[in-house]
Amino acid sequence: MEGYGLTETSPTLTLNRPDAFRFDSVGQVLPSVEVKLAEDGEILARGPSVFSGYHKDPDATREAFTDDGWFKTGDVGRFTEDNFLQIIDRKKDILVTAGGKNVAPANIEQRFADDPLVAHVVVYGDGQKFLVAGVWPNEAAVEAELQRRGVAGEAREAARRELLGQSIERVNAQLASYETLKKFAVLEPALTVESGLLTATLKVRRKKVYEAFGRSLAALYEAP
């Protein structure tokens, strides 16, 4: 059963229970605490189990709470119609488009998790009119599919990109128009723990990826 909380909340705020669970959520709010969403979707909490501040660090404590005493978790979420909490992304990772739309990149990226052709996708586009993505293929799976289709020679590169484009379109069909990926770049080398671009638990280090591949991603806005 999955739940949600932080060290500062001692630690649990929500929990899926045997008599009340939803697999795409982190559960319902425990009766001992209060949880609500700020206007920007950040999850706020208060209650007797929520800490009162950081030891000898009044500035960090002040930053951690709203003016009326709610602890700011740093996570963005939403409540389902039956009051289960879903985590969308870390607030610091939210992209804001030129049109003012807030986009959680992880919410898009995780939709590629079941695609055998794709190893990683990283969404890019803070402050831009539309979103783009870097795509790192699962080379073995792509190669196997090209062989299955009998693609050889000079046609391979175009066919490879077409395959990945179909993966992008499949996900785009699930998204709101402002979330769709209008362009993508097939990038290398692969993201690895050794390169510092993945954590030990194989999560993408977004800031590091932007630093390493930002020029290639930004170039997508210049291309016709």
Range in 68-72, 87-91, 163-167 with the lowest mean pLDDT: 87-91
Cα 224 from chain centroid (whole Å)? 28
Judgement on whether residues 185 and 107 belong to the same structural domain of the protein: yes
* 69: pLDDT strictly greater than 80: yes
Total domain count, the chain: 2
Judgement on whether residues 119 and 32 belong to the same structural domain of the protein: no
Q: What is the pTM of this model?
A: 0.79
Domain, as residue range, for 188: 95-221
Judgement on whether residues 133 and 179 belong to the same structural domain of the protein: yes
Judgement on whether residues 59 and 71 belong to the same structural domain of the protein: yes
Domain boundary among 58, 91, 124: 91
E strand or H helix that includes residue 183: strand 181-186
As a whole number, mean pLDDT of residues 16-30 equals 96
As a whole number, mean pLDDT of residues 78-90 equals 94
Among 175, 25, 2, 168, which Cα is nearest to 88's?
A: 25
Contact 95, 102 (CB under 8 A): yes
Domain boundary among 48, 76, 91: 91
Among 74, 72, 71, 112, which Cα is nearest to 93's?
A: 74
3-state secondary structure of 115: coil
Contact 134, 184 (CB under 8 A): yes
Judgement on whether residues 104 and 72 belong to the same structural domain of the protein: no
127-180 pLDDT, tens digit each:
999 999 999 999 999 999 999 999 989 999 999 999 999 999 999 999 999 999
Judgement on whether residues 103 and 214 belong to the same structural domain of the protein: yes
97-132 pLDDT, tens digit each:
999 999 999 989 989 999 999 999 999 999 999 999
Judgement on whether residues 62 and 117 belong to the same structural domain of the protein: no
Q: Counting runs of H as helices and runs of E as strands, what totals does the chain give? A: 5, 12
Give percent of the chain above pLDDT 90.
93
Helix 155-172 vs helix 139-149: crossing angle, to nearest 10: 110
Judgement on whether residues 215 and 164 belong to the same structural domain of the protein: yes
CA–CA gap between residue 223 and residue 220 (Å, rounded):
5
Judgement on whether residues 79 and 164 belong to the same structural domain of the protein: no
Domain boundary among 65, 91, 117: 91
CATH code of residue 27: 2.30.38.10
Judgement on whether residues 56 and 99 belong to the same structural domain of the protein: no
Judgement on whether residues 113 and 169 belong to the same structural domain of the protein: yes
Judgement on whether residues 120 and 206 belong to the same structural domain of the protein: yes
